[in-house]
Each structure stands twice: as structure tokens, then as C-alpha cells.
Amino acid sequence: MQATLEALTEEMARDPAIFVLGEGIGKRGGNFRTTAGLYERYGPLRLCDTPICERGFVGLACGAAMAGARPVVDFMFVDFVLDALGEIFNQIAKVQYMSGGRLRMPVLLRGCIGVGHSAATHHSGSYHPLFAHIPGLRVAVPSNPADAKGLLRHALRGHDPVVFLEHRELLGVKGPVPEGDWEIPFGRAAVVRPGKDVTVVALSLMVRHALAACAALEKEGISVELIDPRTVAPLDVDTVLASVRKTGRLLIVDEAFGPFGLGSEIAAQVAERGLDQLDAPIRRLHGAHAPTPYSPPLEAAVAPTAKTVERAIRDLLED
């Protein structure tokens, strides 16, 4: 979180067209401290506190971008921005194409995703597959501070609308962040750890769960290659395919719903392009296809954990 704040602070200093819209992002510094200290530096016009009208200020951001500004919409929880899907899908995603590229749409839509701490059903969604389904949108879902900073900086320098989603349970995570002016281009997966027996693709918080599972399995001599796509749109399937060519086995782990999701898409592309590399059926591990419950034991049952990831890998190795 500190990493993205650094990126935003630096980019706002570099580009006066950047302004932030959202509820409580002004003096208050953002519900998740995403804009802490920026109000004092850049004032109310560039740190614009909005009424609770997601559709309204997302639509406003669209018009502002058409007129040459670079709005950052901070909607706290991705669940809240569902009210504005029409503005995002019908307007923001389409303007560049419909105008033959004469209008640009550098809107950054950011917010939190994910199950955890009994946030319950209206504060626990992970809707990246929904956004990735729409042509014209880019979707970044980082899993660590360095990626978050590099991807956010890249988003703030491009022409395209970007949906930038951070897992709430990752906001406090610490990690090394390189110094200097660098960015991470979209559509390049990271090989988090190399391995040879099985390929696991995991996103966001699931990368951490998968790392824990890998460590447990390593003691038994099971070698897992872990891949973090980092952006869901564009999606780097080439890196996944290269890994499957080595291992012949593939598991995809994502907290979002399974149907028509990240797992489905990767599985379909791998089957299309690399069927005869597969030594076992492709496996998917997703969040339960149900509204997220409140009670801690119920909540713990709907999202993948290090344990369930480990079990899924073992199961796949038996195929």
C-alpha cells in the first residue's frame, strides 16, 4: 500500500493532469490510506472528495479523461463500483475504439478485492474476471508491493483505462521495492519460483497461499513452478504454456468465482494451444460460487487457503 502511495505521489508531481476522485480520499487520506498526505500537497481540486455516487463520479471521470485529464477513481471496495458498470463497460471501455483513437481514456479505477476478516458479502468481491471480459479494459491484480508499484506507475503513464485491484489482506504486506523510476509492463507474468513437476498459476493473495503450499511440498521432493500473471487483461498465457511444456500438469488458483473465470480462460487457451503437452486434466481451484458469508468459519470455507492449494496439487499429481 505504501508502495502504491509512493507511485501515486511521484506521478502526481510529474503530471499535473492527474487527479483523484473518491469517497474520503481528501483530508481523510482514503479509507485504506491510499492517498494519505496527498491532500495537503495537492489541494482539494486534485484530491476530490465525492458524494456517494459511484456511477456519477465514474461517469465524470470518463468525461474528464475525454477532455484531457487523467483521473484516478478510488472506490475503496470493488463491490461499490458495480453501480458504475454501465459507465465502465459502455463508455470508458469503448470511447477509444469508437472515436478511432482520437480520444484517449487514461482512467485508473482502483479498489480493494477479496475475502477476509468477516467483511461479508458487500465488501468481499473479486470481480477481475468481469472486467477482463470487456474489450478495451486492462486489469491489474498485483500480489506484492514491488509489482503493485511498478504496475500502478505503468497504468498512470498509459492511454488505456485500467482497473487496478488490490487484495485487502495484502495491503499491510511488506516486501522489497526497488528504488528509482521503473515500471512493469502489462501482460508479463512472473515466474515466482521455478519447478518441474507441476505448474501452478495463482493471482493476488493466492500467490502467497501457493508459496506456502510449495514450501510444504518441497520437503517431500515435489517441485512446483509457480506463476503469477499479475495482469488478467492482457493475460500472459505464453509463460504458462512454456511451463506446462516442462511439467505437463496445470493447476489454476484464484479467489474469484470459477465459472467463466481466470481458471476457465487459462484452461481453454492451454487446451487449445498445448493439448498434447498435458499429462493430466487441467485443475482449477476457485472461491466458492456463492455470496461470501460473514461468520468466520463459514468465511474460511469459501476461499482457497494454503492447505487447500496443497491438497489440490497433491491430487493433480495423482492424475
Which residue out of 123, 167, 209, 286 is catalytically annotated? 123
C-alpha closest to that of 173 among 197, 202, 208: 208
Nearer to another protein among residue 238 and residue 279 (C-beta): 279
Find the shortest distance in angstroms from Cβ 274 to another protein.
9
DSSP label at 81? G
Do 208 and 259 meet the contact criterion of CB atoms below 8 Å apart? no
Nearer to another protein, 61 or 115 (CB): 61
Residue number, 93 or 119, with CB nearest to another protein: 93
Find where cell 484452461 sits.
267
Nearer of residues 136 and 187 to another protein, judged by Cβ = 136
Q: How far apart are CA 268 and CA 261, in angstroms?
A: 11
* Shorter beta-carbon distance to another protein: residue 95 or 211: 95
289 is catalytic: no
Q: Read off the C-alpha cell for 178.
A: 526497488
- Minimum separation from the CB atom of position 85 to another protein (A): 12
Phi, psi for residue 130 in degrees, rounded to 5? -60, -45
Tell me which residues touch another protein (CB under 8 A): 17, 19, 45-46, 48, 50-51, 53, 55-69, 71, 86-87, 90-91, 95, 97-100, 102-103, 248, 275-280, 318-319
Nine cell digits for residue 264: 476457465
What's the burial of 82, exposed, middle or buried (CB within 10 Å: 0-12/13-18/19+)? middle
Minimal distance, residue 94 CB to another protein, in Å: 8
- Closest approach, Cβ 144 to another protein, in A, equals 32
For the sheet containing 162-167, what is the strand order? 47-49, 18-22, 70-77, 108-113, 162-167, 138-140, 231-233
Query: 140 forms bridges with which residues in the sheet?
Result: 164, 231
CB of 49 to another protein, least distance (A): 10
Q: Are strands 224-228 and 198-202 parallel, antiparallel or unpaired?
A: parallel
Q: Which residues have a catalytic role annotated?
A: 123
